[in-house]
A and B are shown apart, each in its own frame.
Chain A
């Protein structure tokens, strides 16, 4: 496998491009692993990675909720009290405020969720949420291509 095609680099560059396409500060990824557990895969920057790790640790957050409900979850301010915010997650991520989490589907199955985030709180407009959903489809295409073209079968 060439250096440029290393899965983590491909995912990193895709997250950067998707965040740029939506006009968000960053994008981050939570995926269901081969034991059906949500895993914090990472983000386009350190804040994104912290956001996913905080959700994996606490078992709560927009991404976890998006996975559980198979629906978009738009959080205007992570610091807001429940149910509109996730202060427990916010305390661990510090700089992330607004989060849009959209489920990722492959072959009619939820395989994870894609988070877009901004460092200032704001309302997510319906057009942005729709765009986020379509961008999630591009993320799935990249993941499918990686899954089928990479020799993971022998690893466990």
Chain B
């Protein structure tokens, strides 16, 4: 790759041991002779604890090079243009079936060893004009009755839609469950009338704890000042009845702001029944002059009782968020062995690239969180908080300041990058948005994206992918915004109205005239930590940028969306990168042992299962317009040849 970097440069110059309770659930499914224990992959994060860990050992670092495509199928649910799809579903394997949600909000049930479709369910939730989230799906949820009775719907698969409906379908037949909501449909949007500007998007499957579904939603927090307040719903898994709500926005602030919703995954401790909610930033995202009152549950990790919604503890990880650095992934639960003690903990890696590790029963930090001073805002009416939480150890995934301007990108653009950088405000992490433009470091792309990391609970090795992406945030005074954009809520140039507030907003990617990043690579990394000691074990550029078909050097890495999964045999499986490849990585060294081209970037989390004696690794390959225009509807499984 040095050769590639050289060639490109030349061309540019010319031109702890886990507690038993935290081990992944192993439930009986029909299996043939097999060295691996029977296992399922029955939740978005692999299990309730969001560990993304499989006990499968058939595929090893030694034989992974022989991995071949076992089957592939195409759901048919892919589209571009105005109705562009974004598919980041984690396939589930449970009930001897692979279940996957699609961006047209259908459920597809697939035979685990052949990829043949068993049944499909169409929610029709993708019809009509695109709502705030458009055609976007991150999968389905699964519930099984603990004491099943005769008749259907003792096992239910759920899919949400962009119009705020939640559908419950019999897992065996694919027929709607008549006893769930109204003929199998719960209109969650009807529960959210306050300040309703759009229909809430149920793109993220609910978490399941006993007979309760814990459901968040996705909003559109760039376009209005006052929006739907972020509410989390506890729903009866069997009937669809509302059991409880948790309001993130304080009632007295509901006329000033909105959202701060939970749009990412939710993890649950099956022993204590605590659900861990990663909350997002309030609206409008980038100007907080109208919402200066403290809102402690916003941009925080909040632990609630999964069956009542009662708050046990909360910890705000970004004060007065004016950067849209939502807490965006389900915390990974683990038991840390530290100083002779076993600490029930969670890891909340976040968009700021910080490795927050908390006692999951109390919310107290396992390693210290310090309040560090950050720059003030120069915007009239805005008051950026003087300090923000910072976690010096475990080592942050990204540095305090953005990387220097890329000489190559600067030279080939005749100095465009350095001139641009000189014009804008850059004081490192938490530089507040400004009218002249500020570097947002890290930007809304992270740091760590919505997949979070994966954990080997037998060794407490945690692996996480992270982005290294500065963007430029500019506030546009209302009069200027109205003059230029009129009543438009958004514009292709990155404008978002933040209507009702004193400023519109413009997001720009820090790219030169040729589309090259203006900062030095790498653009993305994969890191491994020993979570008993907090020590960083290895950190490597991950993935490759692919532009016009040309692969950039591996040392440059790639922006990633999606997450890894770990197996007991010592492998990390991950797609996520821009180059439309899925990879197997050696857990010990971080070296790539196997890779395979798929139809588009696999911006999802793989599922790993064994069925009839064979281990499979399945990826939903959907693509994401943020990374590349290449989209797909491919569901692909890999296994070792017979």
Verify that A and B bind, or say they do not: no
Which residues in A have some Cβ–Cβ distance to B below 8 Å?
none
